[in-house]
Amino acid sequence: MKRFDAIKKIVEILDEEFVVCNIGIPSKELFHLKDRPQNFYMMGSMGLASSIALGLAISQPEKKIWCIEGDGSLLMNLGSLSTIANVNPSNLTLIVIDNGSYGSTGDQCTYTSNKTNLEVIAEGAGFKSIVKITKVEEIKYILRDLGKGCHFVLIKTNPGSALVSNIPLKPIEIKNRFMQSFTEN
C-alpha cells in the first residue's frame, strides 16, 4: 500500500467530515481523488495540519474533523500530540499516513523508517484511542466504526507518490469555500 491507496480508501467513506490535509503531494492526491469544499488543503506551514485540525475541532464541536497528516510533518510538531490528547476533543480523528519518508521532497527517509514509533509516541502523549493499520482493506471499516472521541490512526504504508498535478485553487478560494461549508452543512 502507498499513500495514494490509503487516501483512496479514506475518501470512499468521506461523508460529512471536514478534512485538513497535509502540505504537498498528500493534498494533491486528495484533490485528485475527491475535491470538495470541506477539504482544507494546507499549502504552507509544514507541521501544522494537526494543530489546524485541533482549532477546528474546538470551534466546531458538532462537526467531525479529520486530519490527514504525514510522518515527516508530524515529527516537526510532536508537541501537538500532547496538546490534542490533553484537550481531548470528542470530534477529532488524526490519521497519520506513515510512509517512513519525506514523500514530497524526493522520498528521503524519516526516522520512522528506522527506530521511531509514532504509535508509542501517541500513547505517551496521552491518546487513549490508538489504531494501527497495515492492510489497505482495513481502512474503511476501522474509520467507519470509530465513533465519537479523539482518535489517533496510524496507517503504515510504503514510500512513493502518485503523479498528480498541482491544485489549481488559490489559497483564498480554499479558505472561503471551506468556511462557507460550515454554515451550509
Partner 1 sequence: MNVDQKLYEIIKDFGIDLVLSVPCIFLKGILDLINERKEILHIPVTREEEGVGIAAGAYLGGKRPAILMQNSGLGNSINAIKSLLELYDIPVIFIMSHRGGKDEKILAQIPMGKIINKLLEVIGIKTWSIKSSKEIIKLNEAIIYSQECNCSVGVLLQKSLWSEEI
Which amino acid is residue 25, in one-letter code?
A: I
**Least CB distance from residue 164 to partner 1, whole Å?**
21
83 binds partner 1 (CB under 8 A): yes
> Could you give the residue ranges of the DSSP H alpha helices within the chain?
3-12, 25-34, 49-59, 71-76, 79-87, 118-125, 138-144, 171-184
**Least CB distance from residue 145 to Mg ion, whole Å?**
26
42: partner contacted, choices partner 1, Mg ion, none (Cβ within 5-8 A by kind): partner 1
Beta bridge partners of 87: none
82 binds partner 1 (CB under 8 A): yes
Of 108 and 176, nearer to Mg ion (C-beta) is 108
Other C-beta atoms within 10 Å of 128: how many? 12
Residue 149 sits at φ, ψ, to 5 deg, of: 145, -175
Cβ–Cβ under 8 Å, residues 167 and 31: yes
Cβ–Cβ under 8 Å, residues 54 and 85: no
Of 132 and 182, nearer to partner 1 (C-beta) is 182
Of 60 and 113, nearer to partner 1 (C-beta) is 60
Residues in region 22-41 near partner 1 by CB under 8 A: 40
In the shown chain, the binding pattern of residues 87 to 106 toward Mg ion, with x for contact by CB under 5 A and - for none, equals ------------x---x---
Q: Where does residue 64 rank: exposed (0-12), middle (13-18), buried (19+ CB within 10 A)?
A: middle
Other C-beta atoms within 10 Å of 59: how many? 11
Look at the block and give the residue holding cell 485553487: 169
Which stretch, 49-57, 106-114, 116-124, 160-168, contacts partner 1 (CB under 8 A)?
A: 49-57
Q: Which of 26, 47, 100, 103 binds partner 1 (CB under 8 A)?
A: 47
- List residues binding partner 1 (CB under 8 A): 20, 40, 42-45, 47-60, 77, 79-80, 82-83, 87, 171-172, 174-175, 178-179, 182
- List residues binding Mg ion (CB under 5 A): 70-72, 99, 103
